[in-house]
Amino acid sequence: MEEPTAELIRAQLRRLRNVAGLNQEEFGRLVHYSPSMVSAVETGSRPYDRLFLARADEVLNSGGLLVSLLKMAEREGLPSWLRPWLDAERNARQLRCFHPTLIPALLQTENYARAVIRCDDLLSDADVESRVAARMDRQEVLRQPSPPQLIAVLDEGMLHRREESFRGLMAQQIEHLVVCAERPHLSIHVLPLQVGLHIGLSGPFTLARGAEGGWVASMECQLTTSVIDGDADVATLQSRWEMIRSEALPRRQSLELLKEVETSWI
């Protein structure tokens, strides 16, 4: 989290508390913090968390200001190369997503996201939690009143990758996929194990169509996510998407397969 935004959150917290006519002791009682803890949060000697800010927003009738600022700070803490794609994703009316090795970010549970992000042992615990929170916030695009249509193709192999310590995590994740697949604006298709070599093995990508009809794409690698907006390159990825989608199971069959795999993880 960048320090200017963190200080802005603390300054707004102090301002809102004073406008409400509450001293630190009175405010602390309402948010279940001691006066010394409130003081520590306001001065920056103790970090705040989402739960505290959500409670503060409620007590201070701020209309969600503090949590909104926290989301802004978390986005600022993300790698700069990811931000252009997040803008395209938030404004998309249609999304087409393929990933050969992982559940796509917009369909991940919090625990699955944490396990994936934690694979990078160069990240501190604070960095991991910040990125998990930011990833969960990305999923708000699917819960807005007029969400984009999302079609995702998953490789069946990732659903069977076995490690006993992940049993509960994977059962929860696949249950979440089943719930998502039954929502009207989401369509999840599984590329079955019987499909051998295919163009999707070259790597994951996502296509996004904006409100004005134009398409952009993103391609992930180990170090970065590239935003692709050239007509020829986007057309190539659209063609590859159609080839991958044609190899995947239909929606209903995919849902039945997900339910079978879920049972195997329980």
Residue 44's pLDDT is what?
79
What is residue 75's predicted lDDT score, i.e. its pLDDT? 64
- Looking at residue 191, its pLDDT comes to 94
| Per-residue confidence (pLDDT) for residue 111, from 0 to 100 | 94
* pLDDT at residue number 201: 81
Helix (H, G, I), strand (E, B) or coil at 24: helix
Measured CA to CA, the distance from residue 89 to residue 210 in angstroms comes to 9
| pLDDT value of residue 2 | 42
pLDDT digits (tens, 9 = 90+) for 155-195: 998 888 767 777 888 889 999 999 999 998 999 999 998 88
pLDDT of residue 218: 87
Residues of the chain with pLDDT under 70: 1-4, 73-84, 162, 222-224
Residue 82: per-residue pLDDT: 62
Position 70 scores a pLDDT of: 79
**Could you give the C-alpha distances from 21 to 56, 202, 248, in angstroms and in order?**
14, 60, 60
Q: What pLDDT is attached to residue 77?
A: 59
Would you say 94 and 84 are in contact if contact means Cβ atoms under 8 Å apart? no
Q: Which domains does the chain have, with CATH numbers?
A: 3-75 (1.10.260.40), 79-105+146-265 (3.30.870)
